[in-house]
Amino acid sequence: MINSPMNDQQALFVRMTLDAWTERVNATGALLDKLSDDELVQAVAPGRNRGIYLMGHLIVVHDMMLPLLRFQEAMHPELKLAFLEEADNAASTMPSVQQLRKQWKSVHGTLQGHMQQLPVSEWFTRHASISAEDFAKEPHRNRLNLVLNRTGHLSYHRGQLALLPNR
Amino acid sequence: MINSPMNDQQALFVRMTLDAWTERVNATGALLDKLSDDELVQAVAPGRNRGIYLMGHLIVVHDMMLPLLRFQEAMHPELKLAFLEEADNAASTMPSVQQLRKQWKSVHGTLQGHMQQLPVSEWFTRHASISAEDFAKEPHRNRLNLVLNRTGHLSYHRGQLALLPNR
């Protein structure tokens, strides 16, 4: 590929976006590793979501990035009901924290593998939830923008998980 | 300016980044407007930061973006002690919530004015805390990247503010 100024600019922006994503995923993973299983079943504040719910919610939302970024099918569609469609509640059927810890690693490892391999110019093509027709009018709704927005969503919930353990 | 493909690409990155920033600032502003002064002096979770501290902290960090982005001097350097250098504590001298509400609006309005006027190519120049020499080696440490990172920081604390009122 010719190393034109345009490719340089694209590569720079992809790097900025993926660096931010990776840094936040790693920081959240480190936070979850530090929290015990018992701490993760506490609510982050009185009457609010439990750590296990937020952990499962992030796994589901990031797992859904796999098809949205047109990488592959979601790995754990069975988690959508408890962690996305329903609010946190004691009656939900949830996997154990130990099981979620494994799924956290496999989903993020798989995403990272795809992300690192996607050619720079491909990041500026449409993601799966916008039609080719709409994308022609709104070219900012590309795959990289999806990562940008999901990074914000992750930061939002990381701020809440950082309140654990609830003293 | 010639409307070359490179300029188009740059304009797209700038739009993606500034759209994300503006959307999060507006959402946080709407959240703060919805919370009463009494609710904002509550802690977001037992033993954690109070709403007033997080509000002041975001004002200070965003105010400091004015010089970091090489726009102008900070507007409220007097807030740094209570909201950045010190942890939240009852002994801190803090402005009233009403005063902070005004400062929130003036800082974000001023930032937005500068951001909207900065030419696209200027976003890819260095921010004020990196030397020209280091920037030559690390061109991703540009002004736009600073906005990208501050957007993540804002989302983190917005997730915490969203836990108010503490029931």
Each residue of A55-114: pLDDT tens digit? 999 999 999 999 999 999 999 999 999 999 999 988 888 999 999 999 999 999 999 999
What mean pLDDT is predicted for residues B23-30? 98
CA angle B97, B26, B30 (to 5 degrees): 50
- Reported confidence tier of residue B5, pLDDT bands at 50, 70, 90: low
CA angle B159, B42, B98 (to 5 degrees): 90
Which tokens go with A114? 């795809």
Q: What is the pLDDT of residue A6?
A: 59
Q: What is the pLDDT of residue B2?
A: 45
pTM as predicted: 0.93
Nearest to A6 among B5, B46, B47 (CB): B5
Domains in chain A, start-ordered, CATH in brackets? 10-166 (1.20.120.450)
- Reported confidence tier of residue B166, pLDDT bands at 50, 70, 90: confident
Q: What is the pLDDT of residue B4?
A: 57
- Reported confidence tier of residue B118, pLDDT bands at 50, 70, 90: very high
Q: In B, which residues are within 8 Å of A12 by CB distance?
A: 124, 139-140
| Contacting residues for B39 by C-beta, under 8 A, at least 6 apart | B51, B164, B165, B166
Q: How far is B35 from chain A (nearest CA, A)?
A: 17
- pLDDT, chain B, mean: 94
What mean pLDDT is predicted for residues A120-134? 94
In degrees and rounded to multiples of 5, residue B44 shows phi and psi of -70, -25
- Reported confidence tier of residue A1, pLDDT bands at 50, 70, 90: very low
- Reported confidence tier of residue B91, pLDDT bands at 50, 70, 90: confident
Q: What is the pLDDT of residue A91?
A: 84
Closest-approach residue (CA) in chain A for B47: A167
What mean pLDDT is predicted for residues B38-59? 97
Q: What is the pLDDT of residue A29?
A: 98
Q: What is the pLDDT of residue A2?
A: 45
Instruction: Tell me whether residues A163 and B45 touch, CB distance under 8 A.
Output: yes
Q: What is the pLDDT of residue B77?
A: 97
Kindly report, residue by residue over A18-30, the tens digit of the pLDDT.
999 999 999 999 9
pLDDT over 50 (residue B1):
no
HEC states along A49-94? CEHHHHHHHHHHHHHCHHHHCCCCCCCCHHHHHHHHHCCCCCCCCC
Q: What is the pLDDT of residue A10?
A: 85
**Long-range interactions of B97-100: CB distance < 8 A, separation 24+:** B97/B37, B97/B40, B97/B41, B97/B52, B97/B55, B98/B37, B100/B52, B100/B55, B100/B56, B100/B59
Q: What is the pLDDT of residue B9?
A: 79
Q: Beta partners for A142?
A: A126
Spatial distance between the Cα atoms of A40 and A81, rounded to a whole number of angstroms: 20
Instruction: Tell me whether residues A13 and B15 touch, CB distance under 8 A.
Output: no
pLDDT over 80 (residue A166):
no
Instruction: Tell me whether residues B20 and A148 touch, CB distance under 8 A.
Output: yes
| Contacting residues for A106 by C-beta, under 8 A, at least 6 apart | A75
**Long-range interactions of A69-77: CB distance < 8 A, separation 24+:** A69/A114, A69/A115, A69/A118, A69/A127, A69/A128, A69/A143, A69/A146, A69/A147, A70/A127, A70/A128, A70/A143, A71/A111, A71/A114, A71/A118, A72/A110, A72/A114, A75/A103, A75/A106, A75/A107, A75/A110, A76/A103, A76/A107
CB A14 within 8 A of CB A125: no
Q: What is the pLDDT of residue B78?
A: 96
What mean pLDDT is predicted for residues B128-149? 94
What mean pLDDT is predicted for residues B139-165? 96
Q: In B, which residues are within 8 Å of A46 by CB distance?
A: 45-46, 166-167
Percent of the residues in chain B that have a pLDDT greater than 70, as a whole number: 95
Q: Which range among A2-16, B41-55, B138-152 shows the weakest confidence by mean pLDDT?
A: A2-16
pLDDT over 70 (residue B167):
no
Residue of A10, A54, A127, A140 to mutate, testing the B interface (most B Cβ within 10 Å of its Cβ): A140
Spatial distance between the Cα atoms of B157 and B54, rounded to a whole number of angstroms: 7
